[in-house]
Amino acid sequence: MKKLLIFDFDGTLFDTVDDVVICFNKALTIHEFPALTHDEYIERLGGNIDEIVSLILKEKNTPENIDLIKNTYQKLYNSSQKTHSLPFPKIHETLKELQDNGMLVAINSNRTTDSIKNFVNRYLGDIDFLDIEGHNPDYPSKPSPVGVNNLIRKANVARDEAIYIGDSETDIKTAKNAGIDCVIVKWGYGGEKDYCDGYPIGVIDDVCQLMDLI
């Protein structure tokens, strides 16, 4: 039985991509760069903000252009209402069930901690997360295991008692680098390559299946 469940955020707990697409395309248009499609953004998500912007700009990803688009995007995103960003179906109920059964739940993401907390406070206020390990510029981003290792220490559990739940290749690598089990979900932003990876102990298309795996 697992005691600590560490969740990725974007594409696992929350569907956030539409607000990201809207704000990035506004930023690109303002600075006369070509906009991208929804699917093109999906292919580029998973890293920290600098890595994502670099992939968005393709061959025009100079340090100056990255800073330009990043700063404009962050202003637009921070001031937006983010009305399209919501928990995936049955996420709240599942987290509540896990918590009520004595399991520890936590979040590890390349999104900033403050941003994650804003969403959690708005939609998951009755879930007592052990901690939220978001992007910290002083530490390497996922797939570095730094955030996972911090959560395992705080929970005081063995590595075989922890499991990482995510939706993409970055999450698989994060779990592997931390030496813990992994489950991949199919409702997020991953693809067949991720679902066919041999490392996860399970691939699920309904969050209710999670209880059977742990």
Give every CB contact of residue 21 below 8 A, 6+ residues apart in sequence: 36, 38, 41
pLDDT number for residue 214: 85
Sheet of 181-185: strand order equals: 132-135, 104-112, 4-7, 162-166, 181-185, 202-204
pLDDT number for residue 36: 97
pLDDT number for residue 9: 98
- Tokens 């001031």, residue located: 79
pLDDT number for residue 213: 86
- Tokens 């919501």, residue located: 86
Give every CB contact of residue 120 below 8 A, 6+ residues apart in sequence: 107, 127, 129, 132
pLDDT number for residue 32: 97
Per-residue pLDDT of the chain (214 residues; tens, 9 = 90+): 899 999 999 999 999 999 999 999 999 999 999 999 999 999 998 888 999 999 999 999 999 999 999 999 999 999 999 999 999 999 999 999 999 999 999 999 999 999 999 999 999 999 999 999 999 989 999 999 999 999 999 999 999 999 999 999 999 999 999 999 999 999 999 999 999 999 999 999 999 999 888 8
By the 8 A CB rule, do 19 and 84 touch?
yes
pLDDT number for residue 164: 98
3-state secondary structure at position 40: helix
By the 8 A CB rule, do 121 and 112 touch?
no
pTM, full prediction: 0.94
How far is Cα 49 from Cα 52, in angstroms, rounded to an integer? 5
pLDDT number for residue 27: 98
- Of 1, 21, 10, 29, the C-alpha closest to 142 is 10
pLDDT number for residue 189: 94
End-to-end distance of the chain based on CA atoms, in angstroms? 6
By the 8 A CB rule, do 69 and 76 touch?
no
How far is Cα 45 from Cα 170, in angstroms, rounded to an integer? 9
pLDDT number for residue 46: 83
pLDDT number for residue 40: 96
Cis geometry, peptide bond prior to residue 34 (ω within 30 degrees of 0): no
